[in-house]
């Protein structure tokens, strides 16, 4: 499809006639064009797969306060500006030593276990979960609850009632947390935001929901799926072990190659031209970052994992005003996590055949449900 028609018409399950974008250039142009909107309260976003019990979308959704991923400027600019200082490259470099310590402690605990172990529960999930909990000021003791609720929320085949219950439980918990921080702030990001009287409790809750969900789900899946990919490509793994200086570039290549947050959505606020096609006003456009990141017009031999590739320019963190706020944090966690893992476990290997690794084909963020490893 990408080769034949990178901006292609697509019929959705509810009958909506929308579009799917698979070419790198077209995806980049779309994500940079503010006329393709993210707002849920102005237009109808149609989804290309069915949620059990979900009625066909016919009306815009009520806005969710604080959920800046579903906003356009100037509302998006206002929310994003309040968070930008916490996620700068400089701030992440200051955190790098601490994140490395977090990864090393998780590796110490894993090394004390008798293999085989599940890399997801022992390492890939605890590291970003602890880091985002510390950054936001969420008690790490509560991680099992918020992890269960976020997983239920991200399951594609969950019924509308189950998805709503998971979302309600998570936002109820976070609303109480931000109320406590407004009354008695500490030294963390949610406390900093709670000190700002310009933000309502509802906005703080929506913002906390987005940061908590995005802050552990994506990086946890990148760490586990990235390890799986390297174990399945022993030549690339050997190159990394031989030359650790390749690690920063390898992280970019794994981001490109895996694209765990694959599908983004926009709708056209007016008749627009994209890739030689006319997108009519109101049409939902699905953007496949995975397809764009594997576009041979942008990356030579794109379906090959190559840790020496110059993979900058990938779209795994999006592009434009909505480019991922936490991308530098994810990079630091990936470098610390993968670097420590490869150094500490030189004989790491899969403990089951690759075909038996349970993949997250049922989730909105791709990865593995478990990764049994031995050494």
List, for residues 185-242, the tens digit of each pLDDT value: 988 889 989 998 899 999 999 998 888 888 888 999 999 999 999 999 999 999 999 9
**Token duo for residue 169:** 């439980």
334-341: average pLDDT: 96
With 0-12 / 13-18 / 19 or more C-beta atoms within 10 angstroms meaning exposed / middle / buried, residue 179 is middle
Could you report the per-residue pLDDT of 264-308, keeping only the tens digit for each? 999 999 999 999 999 999 999 999 999 999 999 999 999 999 999
* Ordered DSSP codes for 142-167: GHHHHHHHHHHHHBTT--HHHHHHHH
Asked whether residue 2 is assigned to any structural domain, the reply reads no
Question: 263: part of which helix (H) or strand (E)?
Answer: strand 263-268
The answer to whether residue 187 is domain-embedded is yes
Statement: residue 59 has pLDDT above 80 = no
Identify how many contiguous H helices and E strands the chain contains and give both numbers.
Answer: 13, 10
The parent domain of residue 204 ranges over 7-367
For residue 372, tell me if it sits in a domain.
Answer: no
Q: Which of 107, 111, 143 is nearest to 124 (CA)?
A: 107
SS3 string, 5-17, reads CCEEEEECCCCCE
Partners of 287 in the beta sheet? Answer: 21, 264
The residue with tokens 């490509």 is 233
Give pLDDT tens digits for 128-181.
Answer: 988 988 888 888 888 778 778 877 777 777 777 887 888 888 899 899 999 999
Whether residue 211 lies inside any domain: the answer is yes
Banded pLDDT at 260 (limits 50, 70, 90):
very high
Residue 302 domain-assigned (yes or no):
yes
Task: For residue 279, list its beta bridge partners.
Answer: 272
Residue 199 within a domain? yes
Q: For residue 1, is it within any domain?
A: no
Number of domains in the chain: 1
- Would residue 44 count as lying in a domain? yes
Q: What is the CATH number of the domain that holds 279?
A: 1.10.630.10
């Amino acid at each position: 499809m990408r080769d034949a028609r990178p901006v292609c018409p697509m019929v959705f399950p509810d009958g909506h006639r929308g579009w799917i974008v698979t070419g790198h250039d077209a995806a980049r142009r779309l994500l940079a064009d503010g006329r393709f909107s993210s707002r849920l309260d102005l237009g109808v976003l149609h989804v290309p797969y069915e949620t059990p019990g979900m009625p066909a979308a016919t009306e815009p959704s009520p806005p969710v306060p604080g959920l800046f991923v579903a906003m356009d400027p100037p509302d998006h600019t206002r929310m994003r500006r309040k968070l930008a200082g916490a996620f700068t490259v400089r701030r992440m470099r200051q955190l790098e030593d601490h994140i490395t310590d977090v990864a090393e402690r998780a590796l110490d605990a894993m090394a004390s276990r008798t293999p085989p172990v599940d890399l997801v529960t022992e390492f890939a999930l605890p590291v970003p979960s602890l880091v985002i909990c510390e950054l936001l000021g969420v008690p790490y003791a509560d991680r099992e609850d918020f992890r269960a609720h976020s997983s239920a929320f991200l399951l594609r085949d969950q019924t509308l009632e189950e998805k709503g219950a998971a979302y309600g439980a998570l936002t109820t918990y976070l609303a109480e947390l931000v109320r406590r921080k407004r009354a008695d702030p500490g030294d963390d990001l949610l406390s900093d935001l709670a000190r700002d009287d310009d933000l309502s409790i509802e906005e703080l809750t929506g913002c906390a929901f987005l940061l908590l969900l995005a802050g552990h789900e994506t990086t946890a899946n990148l760490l586990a799926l990235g390890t799986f990919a390297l174990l399945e490509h022993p030549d690339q793994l050997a190159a990394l072990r031989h030359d650790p200086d390749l690690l920063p570039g390898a992280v970019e290549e794994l981001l490109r190659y895996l694209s765990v947050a694959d599908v983004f959505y926009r709708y056209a606020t007016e008749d627009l031209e994209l890739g030689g096609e006319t997108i009519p006003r109101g049409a939902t456009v699905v953007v496949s970052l995975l397809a764009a990141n594997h576009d041979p017009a942008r990356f030579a031999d794109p379906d090959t994992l190559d840790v020496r590739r110059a993979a900058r320019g990938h779209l795994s963190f999006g592009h434009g005003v909505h480019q991922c706020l936490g991308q530098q944090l994810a990079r630091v966690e990936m470098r610390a996590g993968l670097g420590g893992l490869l150094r500490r476990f030189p004989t790491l290997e899969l403990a089951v055949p690759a075909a038996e690794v349970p993949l997250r084909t049922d989730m909105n963020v791709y990865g593995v449900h478990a990764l049994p490893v031995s050494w």
